[in-house]
A and B are shown apart, each in its own frame.
Chain A
Amino acid sequence: MENSEEESVDRCRMHLRPFTLRSPAPVTLHLLPCEIPVSRPAPVERFFTPAIRQGPYGLEASFRGRSLRGEEVVVPPGLVGYVMTEEKGEVLVGKRDFSESSEDDHELEEQDAMGSPEALERDFDRFIGATASFSSFTLWGLETIPGLDSKVRGALTWPSLAAAIHAQVPED
């Protein structure tokens, strides 16, 4: 059963839809210095955004009564920011579900495999897509702006270092 082998390979893949990377809507991002344990919609525009002020030492805002200081951090050159959101997997049992909207073109054919009708009988295809993009985000600290030695700023230098580590070396 060669096909089952391919299925098992495919089950270890989550497809990122390329078309979603082309022109996703811009998004406003804030990185807060506190843990909010749930992920859910929140009225950011109503409570947080209007309270942001430009102070002498950067942006000022407050959250849950605590004073925050922040500044805009630009995505390093050569990189682009995306918010990626998982799509719910669909269960395919022997036939395609044609009830989805047509723009949501569920591509079942793999470039490298999966030409057979059995391909449609796989349990599911896993998909993720970019739902928004950003070129900067606002970094907030509690009472002071996170300094140059903060971990997040260090992390932003990782891609340039990674490029050096992984660049091909000349042959002898």
Chain B
Amino acid sequence: TAGSMDRRDGARGWQHVFLVPEYLKDASKKMKNGLMFVKLVNPCSGEGAIYLFDMCLPQLFEIKVFKEKNHSWFINESVQSGGLLHFATPVDPLFLLLHYLIKAGKEGKFQPIDQVVMDDMFPNCILLLKLPELEKLLRHVTEEKVNPEIDKKKYYKYSKEKTLKWLEKKVSQTVAALKTSNINVGARVQSTAFFFGDHVSIDKEEDYIRYAHGLMSDYIPKELSDDLSKYLKLPEPPASVSNPPSKKIKLSDEPVEAKEDYTKFNSKDLKTVKKNSKMTASQKALAKVDKSGMKSIDSFFAAKLVKKVGKI
């Protein structure tokens, strides 16, 4: 009969619906392995987030998720609750490198990059050092020195001035994209959705800049975001706006967290090592929050079969 209810269809485990760049498919033809989901720092919050790393390209992708209350998937002959739609999109690795450079910059001295990008919480940060054109990237946000006498090695120091210039360029290329994409960036739009088609067109340059600044702010620490706002000469937003514009673009208002014990396969297998000691206090707090009927990318790292909620 049609629709045989065998276990091959949906019974094997949680099914994640993903949209990924097409070229990943071609890149995958050349490789046996080296494509993996890893936990790295979210450069805005400093918490953990799940990324996809392709060692073949090599390239880093961030994982974002569409989640909205009351959705589910029918996937062939199965139901997948939650109705999540995951996106893997290329991310500028400089945002993550910047997180480490800013931290090291507080010491105010020049250091080799492999001594800057070190992280006990997220040991996979060493993958960032494998990215192509690393030196070219770093030039945007650091002062560099070479010690020709000793080792010809490059030494880097975070430069706020260069970073703000770099971010300003990022903002203007994002503004250009916003203008062609018909996204309503008006401060009075309170919906979290994008608007298309016949909305009132907003042509105030400042609205676009503020919106783009909001988008950037998802990838940089708060302090730098405030500095950037001053640098772009953005006026303080009117107090009547409860949501900063950046909130509109988000697929989910929560950051991508990886906060569960990813040494578990699933709730049935509890005899594995406890890694919870690695969670920060805020991650623990977040872990307790009851969310609504969702499964998260955490499930990559802890496939739970209980009806528990998460997020990506």
On A, residues with C-beta under 8 Å from B are 5, 8-9, 11-19, 21-22, 27-46, 48, 75-76, 78-89, 107, 109-112, 123-124, 126, 128, 130-132, 148-155, 157-172
Contacts and interface: CB of A to CB of B under 8 A. Distances in A.
A171 B133 CA distance: 13
Nearest to A157: B194
Contacts of A84: 15-16, 18
Interface residues of B, number: 106
A159 B216 CA distance: 15
A87 B194 contact: no
B22 A46 contact: no
A163 B92 CA distance: 9
A46 B74 CA distance: 13
Nearest to A76: B19
Interface of B: 2-3, 5-7, 9-22, 24-25, 27-29, 31-39, 52, 55-56, 62, 64, 66, 68-83, 85, 87, 89-92, 122-124, 126, 130, 136-137, 139-140, 165-166, 169-170, 173-174, 176-178, 181, 183, 191-197, 215-216, 219, 249, 251, 262-263, 265, 272-273, 275, 293, 295, 299-301, 303, 307
Given A21-B24, A38-B81, A159-B89, A149 B195 contact: yes
A152 B83 CA distance: 10
Nearest to A78: B22
Shortest Cβ-Cβ A-B pairs, 6 listed? A164-B177, A154-B194, A18-B28, A45-B3, A155-B66, A169-B169
A78 B33 contact: no
Given A165-B174, A171-B140, A9 B123 contact: yes
A84 B140 CA distance: 37
Contacts of A164: 173-174, 176-178
